[in-house]
Amino acid sequence: MKVIRAKSAGFCWGVERAIQIAREQAKDGERTVLTDGPLIHNKQMMSALSKEDIREVGDYQSHDEIRIEEDEEKDSVMVIRAHGISPQRRKYLKGLGLPFRDGTCPDVGVIAGKVRTHAAKGYDVVIFGDPEHPEVIGLLGYAGEKGHVVSGEKDLLSLPEFAGKVAMVSQSTMFSHEFKKLSGMLAEKYPEILVFDTICGATKERQSDLVDLVEGGAEAIVVIGGKHSANTRKLAKLAASHDRPTFHVETAEELKEQSFSSCSVVGVTAGASTPEFIIRSVCERLESFPGNSS
């Protein structure tokens, strides 16, 4: 079976940067690197990093207290994950007394800066995103009482009446067309609203490349990445919207030959936290399937 791979599949630069920071801090195993929640949203990559003594503590949403074992044989360092954290969580982690390094994606840092700046100026800040996602939880921390999260039209219509200035940003991994629609609706009510399109370039590129797979003849789409990864789930949803059989998998082992018996061409894309070794193994497995030769 022929496999078409999306050009943008795999690590985005923010993920690559976070991994590089963690590995540099590990100093080839001389130090233990602790990350507050998963450094990136990929279980297989986190498992690989654990062999380099880079390991997750805390929890997905950065709510839990962290216990540092006093009898650690090696020195430890705290590294902040790519999704970022709230200023309150940052203060807490620094208070643990460990060396502290920030692996927050710079794109997320830009969003946090806009939220903090405009909330401080008295703006009500509307954040388009998933309220349970760690990136959004972190961004809300910069807005204080001025932050409001919307994940769709229903949430938008339930917002309180804003008496003053309004600004709007987006979680970095959302759909561009949905953000445009919701920001347009809000602008009808608040014509002076400041809208910042903060969906990152890597997310937009993945969404565009997925359309290219469909137009390039892919009869089915395989989306590789963590089941809890926001950008990967978005890719799978977008693929399904193009009326193509869509398979969201974490590893090649999840692929079943019979699922592709009617296909001669399959498109492959991957979320921003998916390592190359998994993408390669998925492509190789798909290429081994006979598919439809008629």
Q: What is the DSSP string of 21-89?
A: HHHHHHTTTTSEEEEES-SSS-HHHHHHHHTTTEEEES-TTS-S--PPPTT-SS-EEEEE-TT---HHH
Check if 219 is active-site: no
Question: Which pLDDT does position 61 carry in this prediction?
Answer: 85
Phi/psi for 159 (5° steps) reads: -65, 150
Measured torsion, CA atoms of residues 173, 12, 90, 112, in degrees rounded to the nearest 10: -50
Mean pLDDT value of segment 231-257? 93
148 touches 127 (CB < 8 A): yes
Asked if domains 2-10+201-288 and 13-103 share a fold, the reply is no
Question: In the chain, what are the helix, strand and coil shares in percent, each to the nearest 5?
Answer: 40, 20, 40
Strand order in the sheet with 265-270: 2-5, 265-270, 220-224, 246-249
Mean pLDDT value of segment 160-188? 96
Mean pLDDT value of segment 171-197? 96
Of 108, 130, 126, 128, which is closest to residue 118 (Cα–Cα)? Answer: 126
Q: Where are the domains of the chain?
A: 2-10+201-288, 13-103, 107-195
Instruction: Tell how far CA 2 is from the center of its chain.
Output: 29
CATH code 3.40.50.11270 for 13-103 = yes
The length of the chain, given as a count of residues = 294
pLDDT digits (tens, 9 = 90+) for 8-63: 998 999 999 999 999 999 988 889 999 998 898 888 999 999 999 999 998 888 88
| Average pLDDT along the chain | 93
Which of 16, 56, 69, 135 is catalytic? The answer is 135
CATH code 3.40.1010.20 for 107-195 = yes
Question: Which pLDDT does position 174 carry in this prediction?
Answer: 94
Q: Which fold has domain 2-10+201-288?
A: Cobalt-precorrin-4 Transmethylase; domain 1 (3.40.1010)
What CA–CA distance (Å, rounded) separates 152 from 97?
40
